[in-house]
Amino acid sequence: MSQRSRRVSELIHQEISTLLVSGLKDPRVGFVTITAVEVGPDLRLARVFYSVIGDDQARRETEAGLKSSVSFIRQHLGGRLRLKYTPDLLFQYDDSVDYGSRIEGLLREIKQEDSDDSENT
């Protein structure tokens, strides 16, 4: 990733995060966190990775809210960032948090089983 792509990714990350906290009024978008932004080399597409606190229903509602707000978010970015073109936004759910929680739970179970086994011997 070039220095410019990295800088634009960081700016988009900051702007969307701020917008989600203060400016986006869609009730479907709940507790969402932007985890990463990857901008293509030509700066025309930005993949925005997000995670959601909640169950699958909250995730689906947030996904629908974000997808319906793409034009509003792009318009906001266009006004805030000084770019020749405002990149198209593609929101993608980041399941790494879910994956990490699952691994942590499995490790806790193993530890508990080991503890139970050592008490029984």
User: In this predicted model, what pLDDT tens digit does every residue of 39-65 receive, in sequence order?
Assistant: 999 999 999 999 998 888 989 999 999
- Give alpha helix (H) positions in the chain: 3-22, 56-68, 70-80, 96-120
Please tell us whether the domain made up of 3-95 is placed in CATH 3.30.300.30.
Answer: no
pLDDT lower than 70: segments of the chain: 120-121
**Long-range contacts of the stretch 2-5 (C-beta < 8 A, 24+):** 2/41, 4/43, 5/39, 5/40, 5/41, 5/43
Determine phi and psi for 24, rounding to 5 degrees. Answer: -90, 120
Contact 48, 37 (CB under 8 A): yes
Residue 103: what pLDDT? 87
The structural domains of the chain, with segments of one domain joined by +, span 3-95
Residue 55: what pLDDT? 86
Residue 17: what pLDDT? 93
